[in-house]
Structure 1
Amino acid sequence: MFYFSLAIIIAFMFVHIFTNYIKFLDRKPKDRLMSFVSGGSIAYVFLHLVPELTHYQKVAEIAQLPSWIEKLEYSTYLLTLAGIAFFYGINQLNEKSRAKNEREENISQPSTYVFALEIFGFALYNILIGYLLVDLSGDKIPDYIIYFVVFSFHFVANNRVLHLTHEDLYTNIGRWVLAVSVLIGWLLYHLTDTTDLNIAFFSAFLTGGIILNILNDELPAEKNSSYPSFIAGIVFITVLLQFIL
């Protein structure tokens, strides 16, 4: 699966680089598409990633950890909350910076500092997705395909928000950083010693980030959402997961 997983990573990189050129996303049907993607992403998170937290907690409980960590209850769940808090904090800084610049300078973009922080956050996010590809997909090609479908659409949704928010900064710098970060994560998995504890903690943190980003960026505004498409996305990924899990 080495070369197949590399092909998935390269495909992820192309998604990041070329999202700006997907003209379909500028048309009306994008609302139905994004609702479908949101439903599918939520189904994947709650039927595949969240149930794994129980396993990750057991891994953490039998690992040799510092005493202060061992005293914590549900350490992996706390990391999931940390992932939610981390990306929510970045989102809040973004919104406050945009409001400040619009109020004081009549500029709709957040500051360059906030852009750098947001790209750093999503680069970390992408590193984890690249790092966890092999472990979360196992040795089944259908698992890799579902992983690619779910996260490529997830990337498209995030990238569109980043592009609309930061415009040229994202086009000239951000998308390239995000594309390379997925590859870095995959390389780290193959070039470093990977333990069950690493997988447990990284997956828990990533799960929190995914939940926050889906709810924050992918779910369309109420007036633009398509409930039937949202339900169709949930059903589609749910059925696929039932066949392969």
Structure 2
Amino acid sequence: MFYFSLAVIIAFMLVHILTNYIKFLDRKPKDRLMSFVSGGSIAYVFLHLVPELTHYQEVADKATLPFGIESLDYPTYLAALVGIAFFYGINQLNEKSKAKNEDEQNVSQSSSFVFALEIFGFALYNVLIGYLLINLSGDKISEYLIYFVVFSFHFIANNRILHLTHEDLFTHIGRWVLAISVFIGWLLYYFTDITDLTIAFFSSFLTGGIVLNILNDELPAEKNSSYPSFIVGLILITLLLEFFI
């Protein structure tokens, strides 16, 4: 699966680079699309990633954990909570920076420091997605395709928010950093020693981050959301997971 996984990674990189040129994201139907994407992403998380937390916890129970962690009852679930807290903290810094700049400078963008911090956070996020591609997809082409569909839409949703927030900074710097980071994650998987415990904690942290980002960035405001589109996305990914994995 080396070459097929590489093809998926290259496709992910192109998604990051080309998102700005998807013009229909600036039109009214984008809210229906975002509702569809969020439904599919939530189905993937709760039917594929969250159930894996039980397996990851079993891995952690059998492993020799560092001092302090070994006394915790559910370390992998706590890693998922850390993922939620980490990305929520970045989001709050971004919102507060934007509000401060609007009050003081009449500028709707956050500071360059917050932009760098946010891109660092999403670069880490992308490294994990690239790193976990093969482990989460196994040896079935159908699983790779579902992984690509879910996360490419997820990337498009995140990129859209980052572009609207940071504009030229994201266009000139951010999208390239994110594109490279997913490739770096894939390289790390192939050229570093992998342990089941490493996979367990990285996957748990990523699951928490994905849950937060779906609820925070992908679901449109209630007045603009489309419940039918949300349900269609949820059902589609559910059917794919049930019949092809």
- Once the two structures are superposed, residues 130-163 of structure 1 have per-residue CA deviations (whole angstroms, 9 ceiling, x without a partner) of 0000000000000000000000000000000000
Mapped partners of 2:97, 2:210: distance in 1: 23
Mapped partners of 1:66, 1:106: distance in 2: 49
| Residue 82 (structure 1) aligned with residue 45 (structure 2) | no
Q: Which residue of 1 aligns with 2:62?
A: 62
Q: Which residue of 1 aligns with 2:224?
A: 224
Mapped partners of 2:183, 2:162: distance in 1: 20
Question: Shift of residue 244 of structure 1?
Answer: 2.4
Q: Which residue of 2 aligns with 1:134?
A: 134
Mapped partners of 1:64, 1:79: distance in 2: 16
| Residue 112 (structure 1) aligned with residue 112 (structure 2) | yes
Q: Which residue of 2 aligns with 1:42?
A: 42
Q: Which residue of 2 aligns with 1:242?
A: 242
Q: Which moved more, 1:64-73 or 1:47-56?
A: 64-73
Question: Shift of residue 67 of structure 1?
Answer: 2.9
- Once the two structures are superposed, residues 42-79 of structure 1 have per-residue CA deviations (whole angstroms, 9 ceiling, x without a partner) of 00000000000000000001111123111011000000
Q: Which residue of 2 aligns with 1:91?
A: 91
Mapped partners of 1:137, 1:66: distance in 2: 28
| Residue 6 (structure 1) aligned with residue 24 (structure 2) | no
| Residue 204 (structure 1) aligned with residue 216 (structure 2) | no
Q: Which moved more, 1:187-196 or 1:25-34?
A: 25-34
Q: Which residue of 2 aligns with 1:15?
A: 15
TM-score, normalisation: structure 2: 0.99
Mapped partners of 1:240, 1:108: distance in 2: 40
Mapped partners of 1:92, 1:33: distance in 2: 25
Mapped partners of 2:51, 2:159: distance in 1: 27
Q: Which residue of 1 aligns with 2:25?
A: 25
Mapped partners of 2:47, 2:65: distance in 1: 29
Q: Kindly tell me the number of residue pairs found equivalent between the two proteins.
A: 245
Structure 2 SS opposite 1:78: helix
Paired AA for residue 62 in structure 1: K
Gap runs ≥5 in structure 1: none
Structure 1 SS opposite 2:68: helix
Paired AA for residue 243 in structure 1: F
Structure 2 SS opposite 1:222: coil
| Residue 174 (structure 1) aligned with residue 174 (structure 2) | yes
What RMSD, in angstroms, separates the aligned Cα atoms of the two structures?
0.5
Share of identical aligned residues, percent? 80
